[in-house]
Amino acid sequence: MAQDKCFRLATRAASRDGHPDATIRVYAQDIPAGAAVSYEPGFRGFRGFSGFRFSGFSGFTGFVIALAVGALAIPAVAQTSSGALAGAGTIPGLNPNSPVKVLPVRGSIYVLMGAGANITLSVGLDGVLTVDSGSAAMSDQVLAAIRGVQQWVEAKAAASAPPLFYGAETRNSIVEARRADLPPKPIRYIVDTSIAADHIGGNVALANSGKTFTGGNVAGQLSDVSQGAAILGHENLQNRMTNPPAGQPAFPTRALLTDTYYTDSMKLSSFFNGEGIVLMHQPAAFTDGDTIVYFRGSDVIAAGEVLRTTTYPVIDTAKGGTINGVIEGLNHIIDLSVPEFRSVGGTIVIPAYGRICDIADVAYYRDMTTILRDRIQDMVKKGMTLEQVKAAKPTADYDGRYGATTGSWTTAMFIEAVYKTVPRGGTK
């Protein structure tokens, strides 16, 4: 009953305040008995809703009114049949039939699955940062999913922000009340973790849809000079993108990195969506230009091709990848991770393919990779040929979980890559 009354009052107030075409969404959840909403002329209520006075509610945790104007109107599917906000773990407004699925991870971090390699997103009031861009053929679906997540995040922030009844030098209630009229900020950063086409195929489309904001002696933003979103990655990755092997087409200019780093790591110059973000070079793992991304506030790591939960580790020996580099990368992720309790929970790790992991999952995958490395290295010490090693089936006890005889990465290909890159002479 309070929900219906509040809808009528919100419509009346919107019309009176010059927003007759505003879209009104009223969400009510666990409305306590005796709660009421009254209308009093001249009273400035919650979030600028003229004439609303609330009584019988504990704070604003159980009852939220969202006045969404124009582009920030909350999708109708955001409201459940009972009128309650959709529960945790769901993102309303996304196409349920899309091959691209979106999962909330933690805080401002989300993961897109089904567009090539997993794409990690940081979505918030500062804009969007993506880790990888997926396959080129899936760019339209990826952009649609990003827009859906942005709309949901922006609408939630506008609806749940506490009332501000004061003015200050950098923050005041007028600015907060008007923020809902602004469109979501664009894609601002794309971090490329490797050179694989299923990781960077969407660079052009995502960069073109984004913007780079700047300052100092350059005014405004750089979309008018075809900059688009900034693309970040390691210098080795840029070298390989700009110097493809003979017979392979060159990458489009807009797909290339705009900012590179050549040291062990690079930090974004300031917080993005409320947290520090660090890019870390993982040398000689999948390739010699791999990057893992650590979201320090959310405690989430985007592992790139250093970790998969669906196959044996992928190693591109032609581009500098090695088995020991993969193991070192997995150990690096474990060193960064902190379990919540007895190796369960805590730091979240997003692999290139497969499900979201914690430190225990990474440790299991590291142990499996180390065991298989040691087995094959022992066979190399005995002078066995590659064909003899394959015939010995050193991976047999793990093939049911990670093995494959067809596809882009088979068990035989993994064994060959390990055979080629294990150190000779007894050094691991």
pLDDT digits (tens, 9 = 90+) for 62-97: 333 333 222 223 333 333 222 333 333 467 778 888
Helices (H) and strands (E) in the chain, counts: 11, 16
pLDDT grade for 424, boundaries at 50, 70 and 90: confident
Question: DSSP state, 272?
Answer: B
In order of 39, 48, 52, 163, 167, the CA distances from 42 in angstroms are 9, 11, 9, 17, 19
Q: What is the C-alpha R_g of the chain?
A: 26
> Per DSSP, what are the bridge partners of residue 291?
281
pLDDT single digits (tens) 324-343: 999 999 999 999 999 998 88
Which residue from 122, 87, 94, 106 is spatially nearest to 357, judged by alpha carbons?
Answer: 106
- How many angstroms separate the CA atoms of 126 and 366, rounded? 35
The residue length of the chain stands at 428
Looking at residue 171, its pLDDT comes to: 55
Over range 383-403, report the average pLDDT: 97
pLDDT in tens, 171-223: 555 555 555 556 668 899 999 999 999 999 999 999 999 888 765 555 555 54
Whether the pLDDT of residue 268 is over 80: the answer is yes
Pick from 7, 8, 124: nearest CA to 66: 7
Contact 208, 228 (CB under 8 A): yes
How far apart, in whole angstroms, are the C-alpha atoms of residue 205 and residue 203? 6
Q: 197 with 164: CB under 8 angstroms? A: no
Instruction: Note if the pTM is more than 0.85.
Output: no
Q: Which amino acid would we find at residue 334?
A: I
Whether the Cβ atoms of residue 353 and residue 193 lie closer than 8 Å to each other = no
Cα separation, 323 vs 418, whole angstroms: 6
Place of tokens 């490329």: 192
C-alpha of 311 from chain center = 22
Angstrom distances, CA of residue 285 to CA of 50, 260, 317, 350, 416: 59, 18, 9, 17, 15
Residue of 39, 41, 67 lying closest to 53 (CA atoms): 39
Q: Which fold has domain 100-305?
A: Metallo-beta-lactamase; Chain A (3.60.15)
pLDDT in the model for residue 154 = 78
Query: What is the average pLDDT score of the chain?
Result: 79
Query: Which residues, listed in sequence order, are joined to residue 357 by a DSSP beta bridge?
Result: 349
User: Where along the chain do its domains lie?
Assistant: 1-84, 100-305
What is the mean predicted confidence (pLDDT) over 123-147? Answer: 94
Closest CA to 68 of 23, 120, 6: 23
Nearest CA-CA partner of 380 in 328, 350, 329, 415: 415
Residue with tokens 């050179």: 195
